[in-house]
Amino acid sequence: MSTREWNTLVQPETLAAALGAPGLVVVDCRFSLADPAAGEREYGRARIPGARYAHLDRDLSGPHGPGCGRHPWPDAEAFTGRLSAWGISPRTRVVAYDAGDGAFAARLWCLLRMLGHEAVAVLDGGFARWTALGLPVDDAVSEPAPEPAVFAGAFDASRLLDADAIACHLAQGGLLVDARAPERFRGEVEPIDPVAGHVPGAVNRPYMANLDAGRFKAPARLRAEFEALPGWRGPEALVAMCGSGVTACHHLLALEHAGLRGARLFTGSWSGWIDDPARPVATGD
């Protein structure tokens, strides 16, 4: 099995054949913004055999603070402690999945990638495709405790930007890509955050544009679409954002799957930007 197969996406059939293999950990990232307990309930009812559960608020985010947004980037020590408790070490192959589109699984993928962990992939099509293919599920009331591991490391701070760094990035002609839905980007609706609109100078590419019928588009197609964005100057000049730094990770995954490595993340994203009322807000296209 090539490294590439396990560092961006993995197909359900491939994962099913590897279940139970030494050094493989599967993590269920199902979550609902409307009902934060829903994903864990679904995990309790049925999951990929042996999967651990990662809660977006509890496990994949850090404590709230000024400018950090609704889902703050976690502290490296706290997050690596969680990885260790799940039995994940720097030598572990990790597969993350969610209900289907990969948005929450991509957050775990991005966290691991920013730690320099290469052997992590998102299940293409998620649990929806897994069950549609009739692959095995586990509904046991409890799972055996994972073997503890040791994972230590630090995030690549050069790829994690705050609002001040975003202002400098835009002033230098960098590309800021907002992964939210078009109507939120334009400021026509805002169901979550207290201010509608977008960061002036950002361009909109909804994260769902990375998918076709629930699965990621082919690498060549993704590459062509990203390279067609206005202001494209290569992946190193691109920063992804969204509402809170979660679905933006979907863009980083899609870019890397397309062979475009090196893009960065606005961790606080829109909810962090508007934390300071003095920052400018744009509406419309």
Domain boundaries, given as residue ranges, for the chain: 4-132, 157-273
- Mean of the pLDDT values across residues 41-53? 96
Q: Is 242 a catalytic residue?
A: yes
- Same fold? 4-132, 157-273: yes
DSSP state of 208: G
Q: Is the pLDDT of residue 252 over 60?
A: yes
CATH homologous superfamily of domain 4-132?
A: Rhodanese-like domain (3.40.250.10)
- Residue-wise pLDDT for 212-228, tens only, equals 999 999 999 999 999 99
Q: Is the pLDDT of residue 141 over 80?
A: no
Cα–Cα distances in Å, from 236 out to 35, 176, 261? 36, 11, 7
pLDDT of 3 reads 38
Residue with tokens 């334009």: 186
Compute the distance between CA of residue 196 and CA of residue 190 in angstroms, rounded to an integer.
Answer: 5
CATH homologous superfamily of domain 157-273?
A: Rhodanese-like domain (3.40.250.10)
Compute the distance between CA of residue 31 and CA of residue 108 in angstroms, rounded to an integer.
Answer: 12
Compute the distance between CA of residue 142 and CA of residue 52 in angstroms, rounded to an integer.
Answer: 11
Q: What is the pTM of this model?
A: 0.95
- Mean of the pLDDT values across residues 180-201? 97
- Mean of the pLDDT values across residues 135-164? 88
Q: Report the C-alpha dihedral over residues 211, 216, 218, 224, rounded to 10 degrees.
A: 50
Cα–Cα distances in Å, from 272 out to 45, 55, 220, 258, 269? 35, 21, 33, 28, 5
Nearest-10 crossing angle of helices 103-114, 248-257: 70
Q: Is the pLDDT of residue 201 over 90?
A: yes
Find the catalytic residue in 29, 68, 110, 242. 242
Q: Please name the residues in contact with 120: beta carbons below 8 A apart, sequence gap of 6 or more.
A: 6, 7, 93, 94, 95, 96, 108, 109, 112, 113
**Tokens representing 83?**
């990885």
Q: Is residue 32 within 8 Å of 100, Cβ to Cβ?
A: no
If you average pLDDT over every residue of the chain, what do you get? Answer: 95
- Mean of the pLDDT values across residues 104-130? 98
Compute the distance between CA of residue 15 and CA of residue 48 in angstroms, rounded to an integer.
Answer: 10
Which region among 23-32, 49-58, 134-143, 272-281 has the lowest average model confidence (pLDDT)? 134-143
pLDDT of 2 reads 41
Q: Is the pLDDT of residue 115 over 70?
A: yes
